[in-house]
Structure 1
Amino acid sequence: MLPSPSKISTFYLIALSSLVPPATSTNTTSAPISTPTSTNTTTPCFCTTYPQIAPAISACPSLTLHNIHAPAHSAIALTSLVPGTTITFSGTTTFAYTPDSQFRPIQISGSGVSILGAPGSVIDGGGEMYWDGLGSNGGLAKPGQFMKVQITNHSTMSDLYIRNYPSHGINLAGVKDSIIENIILNNSLGDAPNNRSNGLSAAHNSDGFNIGNSANLVLRDSNVWNQDDCVVVSDSTNVSVSGMFCSGSHGLSIAGGGSGTGHDISNILFKDSVVTNSTNGLRIKTDFNATGSVTNVTFDNIRLEDIKTYGIDIQQDYLNGGPTGTASNGVLLGGITFRDVAGWVVEGAMDYYVLCGNGSCSDFEFEGVSVKGGNRSSCNYPETGCPGV
């Protein structure tokens, strides 16, 4: 059976109390700033101004970005890094207002590289300049993805503290054979309405980690406070997600399907994680009238707390504007396992919701599943049974 909530949540409670500045603070200089190893700021490998970055990338096997402020429409472009390069973010990184949905403030690509955050460092996306309750669905133009990452060949990215990103957080696109760990994404300041959001949470579409077209990826020991999917996986294989703490999110998700070929997801593991104060707990959503497959997906040892809509959600009627209510069967689901999933949803929510297309679901397994509180559930998949309540 699943360990008690106190045991599984210990790491995340420590992280919340000791690593995260108060969500109500907007002072981007309040975090402690790491001390440079050298006071010679003219050294090309220790960058303190934006123009120093481009020449340092080609000249330095290891470089530090300290208190960088990126001008408007100017990305921190760490692309085509020399294999083996180490990049360290130090101090507070900030960005000038850039109302452009095609703009990606941080871009990283390379083979065998290491991306690090120095102790006390902060990357601040300036989300307050953009948030209007609509995210990427309208309103003010916002950077579409705050950080786009394409690292391969035993690369690592770790120890980054990112807050107040405008819309989507970290896009892991085409990541191969790499490890992402100890990342904090804190968009909790966007939970409250502002003078542009008409009573809605100011931040929206603020996915934590979008994983797509990736293989042999490990994402672990990270914390996300946001207003959309905590982690969502699409078109990827051999992905392990563990040790996550997710709050305010839409849960741990699979997003399957698309038009044409190549929309297949396989061998995905979510384990040893907590999802709290969130719209959904665990979700597999496939696009309406799409094609593709989702196979061999396991959710193992997950704690759900204070879930608002669905504890476990599997639906094959998804559209960005809202579900259709009628499932399609072009995306095949098979080998789906929920093991040792426990917790509670709020009154009026559904413990579980399963809506499969005609003949498109097979080989579901629910073992040690106990999600309670909503006293409502719905399942149209009787072949091998639905989760117990």
Structure 2
Amino acid sequence: MRCALLLSLLPVVALAAPAPPNRSSQDDSGNYGGDSGFGGDSGFGGDSGFGDDNGYSGSTGSNDQSSPFASSAAMGGGSDGGYVTSATQAAAPAASGQSENGGYYSSYYAQPEAASTYAEPAAVSTYAQPEAASTYAQPEAASSYVQVVAATTAAAETTAAAVPDVTPVAVTSAAADGDACTVTEYDDISSAVASCTNIVLSGISAPASSTIDLTSLQTGAVVTFAGETTFGDTYDDDFDPIVISGTDITITGATGHVIDGNGQAYWDGEGSNGGQSKPDHFIVVKDVYNGVIENLYIQNWPVHCFEIEDVAGLVISGLTLNNSAGDAANSASDGEAAAHNTDGFDISQSDTVTLQDTWVHNQDDCVAITSGSNIVVDGFYCYGGHGLSIGSVGGKSNNTVAGITFSNSQVVDSENGCRIKTNYNTTGSISDVTYENITLSGITDYGIDVQQDYENGGATGTPSNGVTITDISFIEITGTCSSDGEDYYILCGDGSCSDFTFTDVDITGGDTTSSCNYPDSGCP
């Protein structure tokens, strides 16, 4: 039996994983739901906002024509509740589309001056959710891409997110200043990349063994995916369907677009562990400096979705990664989910990366960081995978992870919630890591998991101490494991873990006794 959180501010209703945006219902103004908010006339589900008069949106929240989240009663909260915020996400460089006050000039995503992170009111132990809201929506004047999750429950199990209804539409306007170079045939992509700074890839069908190569983009280029992008069958582990590089570049999606990775042609339950050859990384982002990737809808990728490597200054926001079709078994998967090793984002050797406001349904790590620094993952909804992970670290060309924050996110029906793992008898370091305001539900293995015993991809039960793990903070990590799960599991090597802090951590529901060999005081 799975347990879930009892929210004091909400009626008892069934928890359901939110569906991705219904692209076919979006109007010309970019709205997905009600007249101007998330299913209600002006807020996140009703006239008074995301839970009460001082809740998440409210009658003066999402409906404010000048500020998608701001106002005292929106995501900035009132005097007695709501999601109070104080700082803006202003890390993205102005050349990538950021305004002076921290907002983004994208036609879909913008961040208000006063709102950047959720902060939870004392009376609420998880995200407050409106009774009437059940899907994504975009406020009329707001360009932020935000997700509505159906209200949580005290008893019912979660259910999988529905596959969205996707109806591609034609491109009718340019994505940036100047005339767009609209490309409708695969063979014309290279010439557009060489000569244009405003490129629209409309309804591209890439033949087998043909990469959409965006590695030679001009400085400041904007690339918009429109219509449906598809790929021919390519049975090759080293084939990368999309590759991206450049300086001050923006990759975005037009209304109604979808990028389909053709995963059904490859899924066999093995992923990258064997079976038939298949593209190991669907989208490779490498050597990007001050870039933005936003508002992409991606589905059915074969194995790993994003590989982000050697990047300095990147903001990824408003993405939907929907691999729900891979949950079902097929004739090759021996009764297991056909999709396997389908990480959402793999990050290595990168600095100053922000991932935010993104929805992921997959079958492996939602995010996995194996090396890098100054990385923020904020406002994620992770369903069905292996959670928010660091590692595995050790035995690679770069084995240093520092300055990582996972915040304001939900992990639902996944194997793990917050996880750090290192490889046996290797060296490296993990330091200055914060998990904050993470809500868990239906976790089947470990709520909080730190392990130093990985070898050949699996846990052995025997830790080593060559990788140090220091200055790790778990703050406001709350929620439930399923009955066969374990709330906490920490297995450190001799003397290799230090300075762990646990503040307002409360995970329940796992019937397996928690085990922590660090700190000396035991599990939280």
Matching residue's letter, 2:409: S
Contact 1:256 1:293 in 2 (8 A): no
Equivalent position of 2:517 in the other structure: 380
Q: Separation in 2 of the partners of 1:67 and 1:48?
A: 6
Deviation at 1:32, TM superposition (A): 3.0
Question: 1:82 pairs with 195, 199, 218, which one?
Answer: 218
For residues 300-347 of structure 1, what are the alpha-carbon distances to aligned partners after superposition, in whole Å with 9 as ceiling and x for unaligned? 000000000111100001134421110010000000000000000000
Matching residue's letter, 2:519: P
Where do 1:32-43 residues align within 5 Å? 32-37=168-173
For residues 119-150 of structure 1, what are the alpha-carbon distances to aligned partners after superposition, in whole Å with 9 as ceiling and x for unaligned? 11100001000000000100011101000012
Equivalent position of 2:295 in the other structure: 159
Q: Secondary structure at the match of 1:5?
A: coil
Deviation at 1:192, TM superposition (A): 1.0
Deviation at 1:262, TM superposition (A): 3.5
Equivalent position of 1:367 in the other structure: 503
Contact 1:135 1:205 in 2 (8 A): yes
Q: Secondary structure at the match of 2:415?
A: strand
Q: Separation in 1 of the partners of 2:294 and 2:495?
A: 42
Residue 251 (1) aligns with residue 387 (2): yes
Contact 2:180 2:198 in 1 (8 A): no
Would the alpha carbon gap of residues 291 and 47 (structure 1) be closer, same or farther in structure 2, given more than 3 Å must change?
same
Q: Separation in 1 of the partners of 2:213 and 2:301?
A: 17
Runs of 5+ unmatched residues, structure 2? 1-121, 137-146, 151-159
For residues 98-120 of structure 1, what are the alpha-carbon distances to aligned partners after superposition, in whole Å with 9 as ceiling and x for unaligned? 00000000000001100001111
Residue 120 (1) aligns with residue 256 (2): yes
Equivalent position of 2:155 in the other structure: none
Where do 1:35-74 residues align within 5 Å? 35-37=171-173, 45-74=181-210
Which segments of structure 1 move beyond 6 Å, counting only runs of 4 or more?
8-12
Contact 1:216 1:237 in 2 (8 A): yes
Question: 1:146 pairs with 282, 290, 298, which one?
Answer: 282
Where do 1:19-34 residues align within 5 Å? 22-23=162-163, 30-34=166-170
Q: Separation in 2 of the partners of 1:341 and 1:162?
A: 29
For residues 23-58 of structure 1, what are the alpha-carbon distances to aligned partners after superposition, in whole Å with 9 as ceiling and x for unaligned? 287xxxx423233338xxxx9811000001000001
Q: How many residues align?
A: 378
For residues 344-382 of structure 1, what are the alpha-carbon distances to aligned partners after superposition, in whole Å with 9 as ceiling and x for unaligned? 000021001000001100000001000000132001113
Would the alpha carbon gap of residues 205 and 253 (structure 1) be closer, same or farther in structure 2, given more than 3 Å must change?
same
Equivalent position of 2:334 in the other structure: 198
Equivalent position of 2:375 in the other structure: 239
Question: 2:325 pairs with 172, 184, 189, which one?
Answer: 189
Contact 1:329 1:359 in 2 (8 A): yes
> With structure 1 as the length reference, what TM-score do the two structures score?
0.92
Where do 1:221-300 residues align within 5 Å? 221-259=357-395, 262-300=398-436
CA RMSD of aligned residues (A): 2.3
Would the alpha carbon gap of residues 296 and 85 (structure 1) be closer, same or farther in structure 2, given more than 3 Å must change?
same
Where do 1:320-331 residues align within 5 Å? 320-331=456-467
Matching residue's letter, 1:58: A
Q: Secondary structure at the match of 1:52?
A: helix
Equivalent position of 2:22 in the other structure: none
Would the alpha carbon gap of residues 250 and 320 (structure 1) be closer, same or farther in structure 2, given more than 3 Å must change?
farther
Matching residue's letter, 1:7: A
Equivalent position of 1:305 in the other structure: 441
Would the alpha carbon gap of residues 352 and 171 (structure 1) be closer, same or farther in structure 2, given more than 3 Å must change?
same
For residues 232-287 of structure 1, what are the alpha-carbon distances to aligned partners after superposition, in whole Å with 9 as ceiling and x for unaligned? 11110000100000000100000043237731100000000000010111100001
Q: Secondary structure at the match of 1:51?
A: helix
Runs of 5+ unmatched residues, structure 1? none
Residue 133 (1) aligns with residue 238 (2): no
Q: Separation in 1 of the partners of 2:129 and 2:522?
A: 25
Greater strand fraction, Structure 1 or Structure 2: 1
> With structure 2 as the length reference, what TM-score do the two structures score?
0.69
Of structures 1 and 2, the larger Rg is shown by: 2
Deviation at 1:16, TM superposition (A): 6.8
Question: 2:349 pairs with 198, 205, 213, which one?
Answer: 213
Q: Separation in 2 of the partners of 1:226 and 1:327?
A: 29
Q: Separation in 1 of the partners of 2:201 and 2:260?
A: 14
Q: Separation in 1 of the partners of 2:262 and 2:325?
A: 11
Matching residue's letter, 2:163: A
Would the alpha carbon gap of residues 5 and 94 (structure 1) be closer, same or farther in structure 2, given more than 3 Å must change?
same
Deviation at 1:152, TM superposition (A): 3.2
Would the alpha carbon gap of residues 172 and 82 (structure 1) be closer, same or farther in structure 2, given more than 3 Å must change?
same
Q: Separation in 1 of the partners of 2:351 and 2:302?
A: 27
Identity %: 44
